[in-house]
Amino acid sequence: MHEFSFAYNIFKVAEATAIKNKATKITEVYLEIGELTLIVPELLKKSFEMATSGSMAEGAELIIEKTPGKIKCRECNKTSTVTLTEEAHLTGLQLFQCKHCQSKNTEIIEGKKANIKNIKIL
Ligand SMILES: [Zn+2]
């Protein structure tokens, strides 16, 4: 995912919420990001700064919380918690092994999403 367009989307959602609540300024945005989204928090924070420059969210703090990735095994039906390896970060390739039966026949069930959890407005 490209951090800048993602940061811009976060800003637009936060802005719409702030306007709906008759706020004039956004001071904090709490974000939950799945471990498997490949988003780099530092880049996202920089992009957010750029995306909000000159807006009601200028100077707002972006607080990022990572949520773990989870896979479900198609062989034994159990779930495992997974993290991204260095290699996956570089190649974008995400192949996960079941921690119970070592099968690679798995599907990702959590960790691919990013959500705004809360915003602080004035
Ligand atoms: Zn398994």
Tens of pLDDT along 62-83?
Answer: 999 999 999 999 999 999 999 8
Q: Which among 112, 105, 39, 52 is positioned nearest to 76, based on CA atoms?
A: 105
pLDDT for 119 beyond 80:
yes
Please state the domain extents for the chain: 3-68+111-121, 70-108
Helices (H), 1-122: 3-20, 41-52, 86-91
What is residue 94's predicted lDDT score, i.e. its pLDDT? 74
> So what's the pLDDT on residue 91?
74
pLDDT of residue 85: 76
Ligand 1 centroid, distance to 78 Cα (angstroms): 6
What percentage of residues in the chain have a pLDDT greater than 90? 81
Using pLDDT thresholds of 50, 70 and 90, give the confidence band for residue 118: very high
Whole-number Å distance between alpha carbons of 109 and 69: 8
Those residues with Cβ within 8 angstroms of residue 9's Cβ, 6 or more apart along the chain or in another chain? none
Find the 80 Cα to ligand 1 centroid distance in Å: 9
Are the beta carbons of 92 and 51 closer than 8 angstroms? no
Separation CA 76–CA 61 (nearest Å): 43
Residue 28: predicted pLDDT: 98
Distance from the alpha carbon of residue 76 to the mean position of ligand 1, in angstroms? 4
Q: What mean pLDDT comes out for the span 103-119?
A: 94
Q: What is the CATH number of domain 3-68+111-121?
A: 3.30.2320.50
pLDDT bucket at 95, cuts 50 / 70 / 90:
confident
40-64 tens-digit pLDDT: 899 999 999 999 999 999 999 999 9
- DSSP SS3 for 89: helix
- Ion ligand 1 residue ranges (Cβ < 5 Å): 73, 75-76, 98, 100-101, 103
Q: How far is the centre of ligand 1, averaged over its atoms, from the C-alpha of 77 (Å)?
A: 6
* Euclidean distance between CA atoms 42 and 113, whole angstroms: 18
Task: Quote the ligand 1 centre to 114 CA distance (angstroms).
Answer: 27
Q: In terms of Cα–Cα distance, which of 24, 29, 23 is closest to 7?
A: 29
